[in-house]
Structure 1
Amino acid sequence: MRRALDLLSQYAEYHRDRRNIVTHFVGVPMIVFAVGVLLARPSFAVGGLTLTPAWIVFVPTVLWYLSRGNLVLGACVSVAVGVLLLLAQQVAGGSISNWLTWGIGFFALGWVIQFLGHWYEGKKPAFVDDIVGLLVGPMFVTAEAMFMLGWNKPLLDEIERRAGPTHIRDMAHPA
């Protein structure tokens, strides 16, 4: 069981260019939203609740985030993902073409934005080497947003000690 610090530090090694980090603030939520849209069908009622595959997947995902050794971060990323899933449920209820357009469209555009960021970075996405990176992405974006608000400077300092500081990569003279 890898802890949040280790997961975030490993993920950060693939995300040091500030332009890449910015693209993740757009692309990661788009992808999470799209997955929520695509997993919004079928729906079924259980004890007065409407369940979808999205909510069934959400429960173990929340448990995973909360078990990474940083309860505040785990709770915040769980809330962020939950909000995206709630929004996704709202657009997934129309026609099949509407459902697929929102889901596939946001998924594809989100990945285009992600790959643009990794072009700036000059590195492949983290999930290529570790599939868990797909879960760490939302945690990373949430942590970065919280760091910008002044949360947990010691955690940020340790991540930067391990992965290095952020920078703007010189595209004319790549390392």
Structure 2
Amino acid sequence: MKTLNDQLSNYAAYHRDRRNILTHFVGIPMIVLAVVVLLARPAFEVAGLSLTPATLAVIIATLYYLRLDLRYGVAMGLLLAACLAFANATAGLSTGAWATLGVGLFVVGWVIQFVGHIFEGRKPAFVDDIMGLIIGPLFVVAEFGFLLGLRREVEAVIESRSGAVHSGRALAK
């Protein structure tokens, strides 16, 4: 299994333009929330508990993130739990409202993502490695942490392997 640094560095290689990273701060959370919302139906009773495909997806993803890194895993688990709470609340909406919310978030999130990759001038990471779909949310959390001055050792490894983040304008001149 690839390490945290391997996964983040591979993903980061497709995301060195600051504008692209900023679009990911909006687009990826929208996509993740949309997927969890769309998986919030149907609910099944198991041992007296109400479980949904979203619950199972959140558990599996959180376990993967925890295996990569305890601190990031906890952060991702908390964020996914918040998405799950929101999704469970939306599952009670009419089918039309629930589907419109989920599909709307999904489509708008992907449009924002692709605009970012126009800035980047490079295709999304998942085109070459499907794991990019699960690493993207972790990348956003890591980049947010870097902005706060957290996990500088991880940031240093990513930059040594993938290059520094740039504004995009300097390259265009």
TM-score by length of structure 1 reads 0.94
Residue type matched to 1:39 in 2? L
Match of 2:48 in 1: 48
- How does 1:25-104 map onto structure 2 within 5 Å? 25-68=25-68, 70-104=69-103
Counterpart Cα distance in 1 of 2:27 and 2:98: 19
Contact 1:9-1:163 within 8 A present in 2 as well? yes
Which stretches of structure 1, 4 residues or longer, exceed 6 Å deviation after superposition?
none
The CA deviation at 1:145 is 1.1
Contact 1:23-1:114 within 8 A present in 2 as well? yes
Identity rate of aligned residues, in percent? 51
- Root-mean-square deviation (CA, aligned residues, Å) is 1.5
Structure with greater proportional helix content: 2
The CA deviation at 1:90 is 1.4
The CA deviation at 1:170 is 3.5
Residue type matched to 2:48 in 1? G
How many residues of Structure 1 are paired with residues of Structure 2 in the alignment?
173
Counterpart Cα distance in 1 of 2:124 and 2:172: 21
Match of 1:116 in 2: 115
Greater mean deviation of Cα atoms: 17-26 or 141-150? 141-150
Q: Deviations over 1:117-167 (max 9, x none)?
A: 000000000000000000001100011111122211111011111111111
Counterpart Cα distance in 2 of 1:37 and 1:3: 29
Counterpart Cα distance in 2 of 1:92 and 1:24: 26
Residue type matched to 2:60 in 1? P
Contact 1:29-1:84 within 8 A present in 2 as well? no
Change (3 A) 1:49 1:152: same
TM-score by length of structure 2 reads 0.95
Match of 1:129 in 2: 128
The CA deviation at 1:96 is 0.6
The CA deviation at 1:172 is 8.6
Listed as ranges, the gaps of 5+ residues in structure 1 are none
Contact 1:11-1:140 within 8 A present in 2 as well? yes
Q: Deviations over 1:4-33 (max 9, x none)?
A: 110000000000000100110100010010
Change (3 A) 1:44 1:9: same
The CA deviation at 1:93 is 1.5
Please give the secondary structure, in 2, of the residue aligned with 1:168: coil
